[in-house]
């Protein structure tokens, strides 16, 4: 990803950047493997449910950006970044305390924050394009990372809920 960031967007570097993009997306998919295995181990129906849920959330927030006034929600960037910082701090705190409640709160807060990032990143891409930034490869990476993170969060929430449901049945 750093190599892709360091390569400037131009017609001459487009093929190189597309190759780097393919490598990045492949390695991201490989990195998702353990999370996918966990979801399948808990309940195989979690994966399609998480994918469809992510697609619906992503589509809904993207459509809402297209109908919103342009650049009216760019202020969300600071709020979302601050929320992510608080989530990192609570995750570090949870390493020492091991609170199930804090873990689940972090999961749900992460889902809400990622929904906000889908909205924010879409609006930011539109604003950049209106100001001449036509780097569609980097814009794709922004949305791709939002989609992957959102689906991972949703899959973890579904897996935790399914495990809790199985514990209650016993």
Digit-coded pLDDT (tens) for 111-155? 999 999 999 999 999 999 999 988 899 999 999 999 999 999 999
Identify the residue whose tokens are 């514990």.
Answer: 167
At residue 2, does pLDDT exceed 80? no
3-state helix, strand, coil in the chain (%, to 5): 85, 0, 15
* pTM of the full structure: 0.88
Give the confidence band of 44 by pLDDT, cuts at 50, 70, 90: very high
Cα–Cα distances in angstroms (integers) from residue 102 to residues 90, 131, 159, in the given order: 7, 41, 17
User: Within 10 Å of residue 53's Cβ, how many Cβ atoms?
Assistant: 17
Find out whether 87 and 109 touch, Cβ atoms under 8 Å: yes
Return the top range by mean pLDDT from 12-16, 71-75, 106-110: 106-110
CA 47 centroid distance within chain:
16
Percent of the chain with pLDDT over 90: 69
pLDDT digit string (tens) for 96-121?
988 989 999 999 999 999 999 999 99
Q: Which of 29, 54, 87, 34 is nearest to 157 (CA)?
A: 54
Measured at the CA of 24, the angle between CA 19 and CA 28, to 5 degrees, comes to: 150
Q: pLDDT: is 104 or 5 the higher one? A: 104
φ/ψ of 94, rounded to 5, equals: -70, -20
* DSSP state at residue 72: T
Using CA atoms, how far apart are residues 130 and 151, in angstroms rounded to an integer? 29
């Amino acid at each position: 990803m750093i190599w892709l960031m360091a390569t400037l967007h131009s017609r001459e570097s487009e093929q190189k950047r597309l190759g780097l993009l393919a490598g990045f997306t492949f390695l991201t998919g490989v990195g998702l493997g353990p999370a996918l295995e966990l979801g399948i181990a808990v309940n195989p129906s979690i994966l399609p449910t998480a994918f469809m849920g992510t697609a619906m959330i992503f589509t809904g927030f993207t459509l809402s950006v297209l109908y919103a006034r342009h650049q009216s929600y760019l202020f969300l960037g600071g709020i979302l970044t601050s929320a992510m910082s608080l989530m990192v701090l609570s995750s570090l705190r949870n390493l020492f305390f091991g609170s199930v409640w804090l873990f689940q709160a972090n999961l749900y807060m992460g889902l809400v924050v990622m929904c906000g990032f889908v909205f924010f990143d879409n609006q930011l891409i539109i604003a950049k394009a209106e100001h001449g930034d036509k780097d569609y490869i980097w814009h794709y990476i922004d949305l791709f990372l939002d989609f992957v993170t959102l689906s991972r969060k949703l899959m973890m929430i579904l897996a935790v809920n399914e495990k809790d449901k199985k514990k209650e049945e016993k």
